[in-house]
Each structure stands twice: as structure tokens, then as C-alpha cells.
Structure 1
């Protein structure tokens, strides 16, 4: 996992090793940048061996060569807890990473505020997926506030934070069965997206994920399927949403097809943390 800006970070692409992250999450560990201990821990989490994974991650935290390496390992610990849908422990460790980036505000202001916002959003993503909607709402707002503190923030990056927040608010409203609020937030998300210039094309793929998610939780399954099939088909989380939609439509075989795809995710990030345990449970 690299905390320094990369080409992906500069372009505001959300660079997980396998799954693409929708607005509201951060970058996951890059395949060539993890220590051997963290690679082993990732494999253990994907196998459902969470206690063993955390033992390895704790060793990485305890033996970290510097503060950045320690924050790197703490973020891996946050994701390990995400595999068990543990909003509280995920948030605890993400806040440790945020604390590290706070110490970097003077030296790396553009990166530091962005990363603090990313970590808050990443915790929020885990919380919404685990059903703690109140915690998710607070963390998404915090993430936006932190991200917008970036000195000299560009108009596109400002619009990106606004898009992410509206995206999250629409999903939370749908989960709370508040269709009017969800619709209002979708309009806000669309407005923020349309105000982007260089980022619009990159972020467009996350819009059908939003409309499909909202339709699914509000019970419009045909619309949900039509929208989700336009989203990123390589994202394990999207694959699970499609599977859940097929279940609601009574198409069990199609649902299993998508759960099988999701079960093969190899990333150590919120989409995989949600998708892999759920898919394996569904597949028996």
C-alpha cells in the first residue's frame, strides 16, 4: 500500500488491486507495495482466518520501521476487521491512519488532507455495509470536510468530494426507506458529476452503481438490475448487488453465477470485505 501520491492518486482514480471503489472509499493495497507479512494476512482474511491475519498485522504494526509503515499496517488492520463487518474496530484503526496524515499536513498538505478524507470515507463505507447507518453518515460528512480543507483545491476535486457525499447520502436514505431523500441526493450527485471536467468520465461509472443500489433497497428490482448491469462488472461489490437483485427477482441460478464471481475477489478493501464473506455464505 502506498501512501505517497501515485499516478492513480493524482488522477483521483481509486486504485484497488482488483475491485474498483465507488465514491466514498479509498485506495487499497497495491500488489507490489505490501510487505510479505501483509500479503500473508490478506490471504488469511480472504480465507476467513481473521484471528490469524490480525496476529500477522499486529507484528507489522509493532515492528514498523517508521510512522508511515505503521500507518500502512494499521490500515490493513482496519480492513481485516471490515471482513467481519466490524464498523467500530475498522473506524478505530482508520482513525489511527488519519492521525498519521494529520502530522503530515505541513509537509504534504495536498496529500494529507485528501488521505484523511479518504480514510474517513473508507471507514464509512464499511459502516454502511455493516448496517451502522448513523456512523456511516457521520464519517462520510467528516471525510468531505477533511478533503475540502486541501489548500488550493481544484474545482474538479471539490466536485468529487461533493459527488461522494451525495452518493453516500442517497444510499443511506435508501437503506432508511426514505425515497424522497434518496432522489434529492441522486440529483445532487448528478449535478456534482456534471460539473466535473477531466474527472467526469472516470467517475461516470459510479453513477449507475448509485441508481442501481437505491432502486434495489427501495424495491424496484427491474430498475436495479438494469442500472447495475451498467456499473463496473469487475467490482465484487457490484457483483454481489447484482446477485442480490437476481435473488429478489426469483432467478436463483443467475444469482449464484454472480456470487461465484464475487467469491473470487482477491483484494483487501471494502468491496472485497463485504463481497467475499457474503458470497461464500450464499454458496454454502
Structure 2
């Protein structure tokens, strides 16, 4: 839960978008093809660029992203590995590691994602960049939660919270942000574990933090938590009501809405929202769960290839 980049390259991982904007003319072409959902063409563009510059960080990451979005996860991994090896600075390496970790998220592999995210996490801690250390830990917590590893998710969300609070001269708003994120995460973990009363308790904590008024930009994430808990409590009408108040630009929300409609027996609406989630062009933590799940559900109805 954080602010996102805006503009032409907003949906691309930072290591690809940042380099693509300043690199040769072929780079935006590959990026634009990904954003247009033309993944095979994007892959061809990045592979053509690698013929000229095999050590291009952006091209290797771009090829990995395209392959992940095509569902070809094992094929993506050597490209991400090459990007990590070719990185020219510790920061660039950390960004490449995070991109590969998200790739493992697409494959539902929390364990391998952890190996990469921990390297990035350690880099940010060592450089006293505590906000980014917290973000990386939360990123991994989400990947592990969505992969079903609740204990590891809880551990990393707590580490994210604790590192985030190490920021020097931290403001009340930043403190509230980390407290809200942790309560939100604990609520989702409890819901997945079937501990609905505990999940609702955490939601109350999250609501109380928001009511202090320091982080109004986080208000949009509260109905997400309400809908999440309601879904796992099998209160599908309440889940749908809450989720319909959340931004539809998030493929995870679209996927959860689809799951809610499916549980309610409305297959037509479920298909509509699964198709939206499956069509995402984002290589992001929310998409890492939503896109593969939606594709599998549609494939089970013979509506697309898995």
C-alpha cells in the first residue's frame, strides 16, 4: 500500500521504467508494448536489444517482465538474473532483485522471493534507508501472504513496520502510516487463517489510526480491508459492497471481486472481473497474485489458455 508512479511508464517496475525513459529509442518501444498488453512483441523487442547489448539491465528486466506476464516464469528467471549481475550500482542491483522477487511472486514461490527481497532489504538497512527497507519487507510480506505462507508473511510485515519506524525524526503521519499498514496486514492474515474476530479487531485498530486524521491518503485502503475480511467470513454481499468502494485500477481488487461474484453464483460477473484481472499489464505485487489466479479460473472454464 503505497503511492504509485504516474504517467506513461507507471505500470513498469522501477528498474525498467527508470532506465527505459533515458535509454535508446528501442527502450520505450518495449515498455509501451508491455503497457499495451502486447507481451510477445515486447519480448521480441527486448531480445533484439540484447543482441546489441547483452548486459543491458533494462532489456534483461524487460524480457523477464514480458515472460512473467506471459506465464512463462522459469524462462523469465535467467533474464532477471542477468539484470542483477549487470547492475552498475548497489541501488540498481536492489531494484533488479525486487523485480525478480515479484517474478517469483507470479509463480507463487515465497521462499525464493524471500532470498531476493532480503538482499534488497539488507542493502536499505545498511544504508540507513529505513522507509525503503520497510517497503521491501512489506512487499515480501504481501507476496508470502498471497502464496499462503502466513507465518512468513507476519514476520516480514512486522519487520517492515519496525524498520519503517527507525526513520530519523519521524513525523506523526509516518508513524501512523506504519501502524496502519501493520494493522491492515494483521487483519488480512487473520482473515485468511479463519480468525474473523481477530481480523475485525485489527480493522478497528486500523480505523482508529485513520481517525487521527494524519494519513487521509490511506482512507481508500480501509474498504479494501473490510471487503477482504467479509469475503473470508463468507459475507459476500458485504464484501462486494466494500470492494466496490475501492479503486478498480488494482488487479487484486478486481480478482477479489471476481471471486466474490463466483462465490455468490454469478458466473457472468465473475468472468467479467476475472478477465479484467487477467488482462493487467502490471508487473507488481498485486498483479503477481491476481493475474495468474484469474487466468487459471478462466482456463478452468475453457475461456483462455492457462
Match of 2:207 among 173, 187, 190: 190
How far off its partner does 1:102 sit?
2.0
5+ unaligned residues in a row in structure 1: which ranges? 1-8, 20-26, 106-111
Q: Which residue of 1 aligns with 2:173?
A: 156
Between 1:29-38 and 1:221-230, the stretch displaced more is 29-38
1:224 aligned onto 2:247: no
Q: Which residue of 2 aligns with 1:5?
A: none
1:104 aligned onto 2:127: yes
Task: Tell me: CA distance 1:61–1:31, structure 2 relative to 1, closer, same or farther (3 Å).
Answer: closer
Q: Which residue of 2 aligns with 1:69?
A: 92
How far off its partner does 1:103 sit?
2.6
In structure 2, what is the Cα distance between the partners aligned to 1:18 and 1:271? 14
Match of 1:171 among 180, 183, 188: 188
In structure 2, the residue corresponding to 1:32 is in which secondary structure?
Answer: helix
Greater radius of gyration (CA): 2
How far off its partner does 1:30 sit?
7.1
In structure 1, what is the Cα distance between the partners aligned to 2:285 and 2:59? 21
In structure 2, what is the Cα distance between the partners aligned to 1:151 and 1:123? 24
In structure 2, what is the Cα distance between the partners aligned to 1:196 and 1:101? 29
Q: How does 1:107-118 map to 2 (within 5 A)?
A: 112-118=129-135
How far off its partner does 1:38 sit?
1.0
Q: Which residue of 2 aligns with 1:108?
A: none
Q: Which residue of 2 aligns with 1:119?
A: 136
How far off its partner does 1:247 sit?
0.5
Q: Which residue of 1 aligns with 2:59?
A: 36
Q: Which residue of 2 aligns with 1:259?
A: 274
The two structures, once aligned, show a CA RMSD in angstroms of 1.8
TM superposition score normalised by structure 2? 0.81
In structure 1, what is the Cα distance between the partners aligned to 2:16 and 2:89? 21
In structure 2, what is the Cα distance between the partners aligned to 1:172 and 1:229? 21
Larger helix share, 1 or 2: 2
5+ unaligned residues in a row in structure 2: which ranges? 20-57, 300-306
Write out per-residue CA displacement over residues 192-242 of structure 1, whole angstroms, 9 at most, x where no aligned residue.
112233x31x21111110000000001101000000011111110000000
How far off its partner does 1:28 sit?
4.6
Q: Which residue of 1 aligns with 2:82?
A: 59
Q: Which residue of 1 aligns with 2:38?
A: none
How far off its partner does 1:246 sit?
0.2
Report the count of equivalent residues: 259
In structure 2, what is the Cα distance between the partners aligned to 1:234 and 1:33? 22
Between 1:264-273 and 1:154-163, the stretch displaced more is 264-273
1:233 aligned onto 2:248: yes
TM superposition score normalised by structure 1? 0.87
